Amino acid sequence: MKSLSKNLPRFAFALALCLVALPHLPVAFANVSNVSVGQTNQGSLTPLQIEIEKQTERLRSAEFDERRDAVTRLGSMRHPAASRAALPALHDSAAIVRATAAAAILSLSPGESGGYLIPLLADKDEFVRREVAFALGRTHHQSAVQPLIERLNSDKKDSVRGAAAVALGELRDASATFSLAEILSPGSGLTSRSSKKSKKEKDLFLLRAAARSLGQIGSSLGLPALMAALQDEQAPDDVRREAAFALGLIGDAAAIPALRSVETARDPYLAEAAHQALRRIKRQATPARGH
């Protein structure tokens, strides 16, 4: 008893400390719990999510080079979430960023990416319109066909028209055949000799793209324009080679006389292209005869 009474003041003091601290314990535990949850959420992010957040933050930079690099990195991830993070860049103030974003959003579904890209075919910048046209071809979505045909027919810049021609070949829709064939028709300046020389040089990529795309589409409606380009000795050799290649892709026997007429052409590459096209047509025709 004597020992207990001696130590009673110490027990009373300890008890008082506990009573003072007790009301604060729930708050303390809550704070610990919150920190733990925050740390868990941060730790649950995948490396991909962390990188997307990093590049999304860089899109807010005042430097267009950094924004362009961020868009490039998002596109290289080839993931829908990364493409979605790049969407705001389609409306960036810098044309180079908008152009880069066109390819960066292609990991979205074809219909969705096409829906975002089609309005940008009317962008004020030539480079943006060109890259958007190329990107639309890579969507392989038919909603892009008519907007690309309109751009092919109406854009004032040949680089944009050439990109539209390439894209239409990738989409392989027969409704583009007439517009592409019109580019190779005599009225396009393909056969002019001197007065349109600079125009021909400027349009070389467009003409080549139109010829190749006609072959990719594969419609026999493109044969007259392709055969005319093939047999036009005033046309650039590159265009004539593309026409021969396209005729081989279409595989219509009606092109055989035109191809044979250039088998001895002065350009050995054209002669070889015609020879390969003839072989392709004959291979395609052989099974039909067998049946």
- Among the residue ranges 13-22, 132-141, 241-250, the one predicted with the least confidence is 13-22
Q: Between 246 and 36, whose confidence is greater?
A: 246
C-alpha–C-alpha distance, residues 278 and 263, integer Å? 10
The domain made up of 49-108 has a fold known as Leucine-rich Repeat Variant (1.25.10)
pLDDT of residue 41: 53
For residue 197, pLDDT over 60 is answered with no
pLDDT of residue 220: 95
DSSP letters, 184-240, are HSGGGTTT--STTHHHHHHTHHHHHHHHHHHHHHT-GGGHHHHHHHHH-TTS-HHHH
pLDDT of residue 180: 96
For residue 29, pLDDT over 60 is answered with no
How does pLDDT run across 32-71, given as a tens digit for each residue?
333 333 334 556 889 999 999 999 999 999 999 999 999 9
How does pLDDT run across 7-28, given as a tens digit for each residue?
545 544 454 444 444 444 443 3
pLDDT of residue 285: 79
How does pLDDT run across 225-243, given as a tens digit for each residue?
999 999 999 999 999 999 9
Percent of the chain with pLDDT over 90: 75
User: What is the chain's percent helix, strand, coil content, to nearest 5?
Assistant: 80, 0, 20
The model's pTM: 0.79
For residue 164, pLDDT over 60 is answered with yes
- Among the residue ranges 3-7, 90-94, 284-288, the one predicted with the least confidence is 3-7
pLDDT of residue 151: 98
pLDDT of residue 284: 87
Q: Are 150 and 118 in contact (CB under 8 A)?
A: no
pLDDT of residue 286: 73
What are the start and end residues of each CATH 1.25.10.10 domain in the chain?
49-108, 111-171, 179-291
User: What average pLDDT is seen over the chain?
Assistant: 85
**Token pair listed for 34:** 């919150």
- Which CATH architecture best describes the domain 111-171? Alpha Horseshoe (1.25)
Give how far Cα 283 sits from Cα of 70, 215, 220, 237, 289, Å: 49, 17, 18, 26, 11
**Residues 6 or more apart whose Cβ sits within 8 Å of residue 149:** 164, 168, 175, 176, 179
C-alpha–C-alpha distance, residues 154 and 140, integer Å? 22
**Domain 179-291 superfamily per CATH:** Leucine-rich Repeat Variant (1.25.10.10)
